[in-house]
A and B are shown apart, each in its own frame.
Chain A
Amino acid sequence: MSTGTTKLDVVVSDVVPVNELVTRFHFRRRDGALLPRFSGGAHVVVEMRDGERTRLNPYSLMGSPLDTREYTISVRRDDVGRGGSLFMHRNVRPGMEMVISYPVNLFSLDLRARKHLMLAGGIGITPFMAQTAQLAAEGGNFELHYTCRTASLGTYADVLRERYDRRVRLYHDDRDERIELDRLLSSQPLGTHLYVCGPSGMIGWVRDSAASLGWPTETVHFEHFAAPQPGAPFDVTLGLSGRTIRVGEQQSLLEAIEAAGVDPPYLCRGGVCGQCETNVIAHDGKFIHNDHWLSEEEHRSCKKIMPCVSRFEGRSLVLER
């Protein structure tokens, strides 16, 4: 029941190191046909078969939506994460056969906008690579503000500057360059839409600032790029299938449910789409909610959980699965 996640059989056509942390992967269809069309901001879920374990991680497509001969993703190596990015960096080689999902777009451009204001932090630049290519081809009006730690970690900053010149502004943390957010947000023409992708702290800061400065919620789009966080192992009872399973330290609750042979719905695996929303039947302990889907009130109610990113600490948890 993994909604919208019909699979594509692909072969890795190239692996290109971009900088000390980021590597780019190119995929083509094994049968040589064109890949499905997508729009800027779409992601694919990449299946990583690592021995016993299968990881499913979402990555934004960063190539031009006008070119569907291949898909490209960029993966930032995360040495303390759950291992998906390390697997990509260490094990994936050109010629390898892999399976990816059809593209799904949960971060699409609102093409009614008069202007698109984009804010990227770190590897959050990837969806904007595709969106800027799409807009540039249509003569769209955009401006991209990109914050990175250092110039050498400014993934694709050079490419973007070359392509779009002054429509791209760079900010380097190590040089203490900061976006003057209030000023930026207050000087945008009516009809501007705002897009933000980066670390959760940045997304929260931008969303809060925009809201208090009077940006209507429907003009603010965000994509949180974080993978599920590891955490202490915990046990869960699946009320419908009557099974009790253990969620490992490096495993997400969704992955543990899948490993038990139950096939719950998902789309983004990143806490934003709402597809995996699961009812809590009973609990004794505390929830660690990491999603951007449920409201704060729903988080406090302890009646729902998003198993793709959220965890639990305590004695017992029974879910309606």
Chain B
Amino acid sequence: MAAKSIISRPVYGTLSLQPGKHHLFVADAEGALAITDLASKAPAGFFANAHIIFILGNDGKHVAALQALKPAQFYQGHSFANALPRLKQTLANAHMGLRLYLAGTEGLIGQAMQAALEAGIDHTSIQTEHRGSLARRIQCVHCKGITENVTTQPATCSHCGLLLLVRDHYSRRLAAFQGVCINAEDRSEIPPAEEIFR
């Protein structure tokens, strides 16, 4: 679980059943377990109005468990980028009464939420549950490039190569944490990188 530090640092809850006509789940890797946990509390027939978009983890697990819930629609993909057109399309055609549930890594939750905000859903109406890796999506404040799956502090910007202090400062609009040059005064000063976002 992510601890609360500064106000923009997102906090996640536990998926809970919402009243609604349609239920859209977006999850990656171990996020599937948040869905199956929710399913154990769901009334019969709940998944008949559900659509699950699942991004496989490296272990390729959980697909069978999700399919066993018999959702009306099921999609599996290997990256969020692959799933994004489908998510956008689903949101664009959706009506009020659709409820959104996001579960898995912070990167997945953040990027799916970004698509949802663009579609007009308020972030407070979205159910989220963090499962799995704490790896972060970082925006470098200097070159504005995004680096995915950052697990170390500090981290190197994959675009401009600066060494970045990974902050808790988070942007919902960018779905990214902020990275600021850690040795701007003296580039030769290179603090050791620790793997802290696992």
Residues of A within 8 A of B (CB): 112-114, 185-192, 194, 211-216, 218-219
For the complex of A and B, the 3 pairs showing the least CB-CB separation, nearest first, are A191-B120, A214-B20, A216-B125
Q: How far is the CB of A230 from chain B (nearest CB, A)?
A: 37
B124 within 8 Å of A (CB atoms): yes
**Chain B residues, Cβ within 8 Å of A194:** 96
B119 within 8 Å of A (CB atoms): yes
**Chain A residues, Cβ within 8 Å of B22:** 214
Can you report 11 A-B residue pairs in the complex whose CB atoms are below 8 A from each other?
A: A112-B120, A185-B97, A186-B96, A188-B96, A189-B94, A190-B96, A191-B119, A212-B19, A214-B22, A216-B122, A216-B125
B41 within 8 Å of A (CB atoms): no
Instruction: Assess whether A191 is in contact with B19, with CB atoms less than 8 Å apart.
Output: no
* Closest B residue by C-beta to A191: B120
Instruction: Assess whether A190 is in contact with B21, with CB atoms less than 8 Å apart.
Output: no
Instruction: Assess whether A215 is in contact with B96, with CB atoms less than 8 Å apart.
Output: yes
**Chain B residues, Cβ within 8 Å of A216:** 122, 124-125
Instruction: Assess whether B95 is in contact with A218, with CB atoms less than 8 Å apart.
Output: no
B18 within 8 Å of A (CB atoms): yes
Instruction: Assess whether B125 is in contact with A213, with CB atoms less than 8 Å apart.
Output: no
Alpha-carbon distance between A215 and B20 when the two chains are bound, in angstroms: 7
B137 within 8 Å of A (CB atoms): no
B83 within 8 Å of A (CB atoms): no
Q: A213-B19, A213-B20, A214-B18 are in contact. Are A189 and B95 (CB under 8 A)?
A: yes
Q: Is the interface of B mostly helix, strand, loop or mixed?
A: loop
Alpha-carbon distance between A211 and B91 when the two chains are bound, in angstroms: 20
* Closest A residue by C-beta to B125: A216
**Chain A residues, Cβ within 8 Å of B94:** 189-190
Q: How far is the CB of B39 from chain A (nearest CB, A)?
A: 18
Q: How far is the CB of A220 from chain B (nearest CB, A)?
A: 10
Alpha-carbon distance between A112 and B121 when the two chains are bound, in angstroms: 10
Alpha-carbon distance between A112 and B125 when the two chains are bound, in angstroms: 14
Q: A191-B121, A216-B124 are in contact. Are A211 and B95 (CB under 8 A)?
A: no
Alpha-carbon distance between A185 and B91 when the two chains are bound, in angstroms: 17
Instruction: Assess whether A218 is in contact with B120, with CB atoms less than 8 Å apart.
Output: no
B130 within 8 Å of A (CB atoms): no
Alpha-carbon distance between A211 and B20 when the two chains are bound, in angstroms: 8
Instruction: Assess whether B96 is in contact with A219, with CB atoms less than 8 Å apart.
Output: yes
Alpha-carbon distance between A191 and B20 when the two chains are bound, in angstroms: 15
B63 within 8 Å of A (CB atoms): no
B136 within 8 Å of A (CB atoms): no
From residue 119 to 150 of chain B, which have CB atoms closer than 8 A to chain A? 119-122, 124-125
**Chain B residues, Cβ within 8 Å of A189:** 94-96, 120
Instruction: Assess whether B98 is in contact with A114, with CB atoms less than 8 Å apart.
Output: no
Instruction: Assess whether B96 is in contact with A192, with CB atoms less than 8 Å apart.
Output: yes
B99 within 8 Å of A (CB atoms): yes
Instruction: Assess whether B19 is in contact with A190, with CB atoms less than 8 Å apart.
Output: no
Q: Which of A112, A114, A211, A213 contacts B21 (CB 8 A)?
A: A213
Select the residue from B22, B95, B125 with max chain A CB neighbours within 10 A. B95
Q: How far is the CB of A190 from chain B (nearest CB, A)?
A: 5
**Chain B residues, Cβ within 8 Å of A191:** 119-121
Instruction: Assess whether B91 is in contact with A190, with CB atoms less than 8 Å apart.
Output: yes
**Chain A residues, Cβ within 8 Å of B120:** 112-114, 189-192
Instruction: Assess whether B124 is in contact with A213, with CB atoms less than 8 Å apart.
Output: no
Alpha-carbon distance between A31 and B122 when the two chains are bound, in angstroms: 44
Q: Which of A112, A185, A212, A218 contacts B96 (CB 8 A)?
A: A185
**Chain B residues, Cβ within 8 Å of A211:** 19
Instruction: Assess whether B121 is in contact with A214, with CB atoms less than 8 Å apart.
Output: no
Instruction: Assess whether B121 is in contact with A190, with CB atoms less than 8 Å apart.
Output: yes
Encoded as 1 (CB less than 8 Å from any A CB) or 0, chain B from 19 to 49 comes to: 1111000000000000000000000000000
Alpha-carbon distance between A114 and B20 when the two chains are bound, in angstroms: 19
Alpha-carbon distance between A214 and B95 when the two chains are bound, in angstroms: 10
Alpha-carbon distance between A213 and B21 when the two chains are bound, in angstroms: 6
Q: Which of B91, B97, B122 contacts A214 (CB 8 A)?
A: B97
* Closest B residue by C-beta to A110: B122
* Closest B residue by C-beta to A217: B125
Instruction: Assess whether A190 is in contact with B124, with CB atoms less than 8 Å apart.
Output: no
Q: A212-B19, A214-B19 are in contact. Are A188 and B121 (CB under 8 A)?
A: no
* Closest B residue by C-beta to A216: B125
Q: Which of B18, B98, B125 contacts A218 (CB 8 A)?
A: B125
Instruction: Assess whether B21 is in contact with A214, with CB atoms less than 8 Å apart.
Output: yes
**Chain B residues, Cβ within 8 Å of A219:** 96, 122, 125
Alpha-carbon distance between A218 and B18 when the two chains are bound, in angstroms: 14
Select the residue from B19, B96, B98 with max chain A CB neighbours within 10 A. B96
Instruction: Assess whether A214 is in contact with B98, with CB atoms less than 8 Å apart.
Output: yes
Q: A212-B19, A214-B18 are in contact. Are A187 and B121 (CB under 8 A)?
A: no
Encoded as 1 (CB less than 8 Å from any A CB) or 0, chain B from 84 to 111 comes to: 0000000100111111000000000000
